[in-house]
Amino acid sequence: MNLALDLTQDELSELRRHTRVTDDADAVSRAAREFLRICRLRELTSVAGKVDYEENAWRELDQAELAQPELNLDL
């Protein structure tokens, strides 16, 4: 896909420096992907602590698992 960008030489140099890539197109691609990754992380952290769950459910599952008889795997 071709895309025209209007970046200054200083901006391109900074992108190359931060991405540690010498090719302009590769530096821009890597910077864009990193930006998207950071955006997804921000979205995840914004919902941290807002997820509803039943706190004792894991305890019930743990107790149910412990109550199961052990399997004899001796062959």
What are the boundaries of each domain within the chain? 8-48
More confidently predicted of 12 and 74:
12
Residue pair 18/31 in contact (Cβ under 8 Å)? The answer is yes
Confidence of residue 59 (pLDDT cuts 50, 70, 90): confident
More confidently predicted of 23 and 50:
23
Closest CA to 12 of 3, 24, 21: 24
More confidently predicted of 49 and 21:
21
What pLDDT, on a 0 to 100 scale, did the predictor assign at position 34?
Answer: 95
Closest CA to 7 of 36, 35, 31: 31
Give φ, ψ of 39 to 5 degrees.
Answer: -60, -45
pLDDT tens-place string over residues 18-39: 999 999 999 999 999 999 999 9
pTM for the whole structure: 0.60
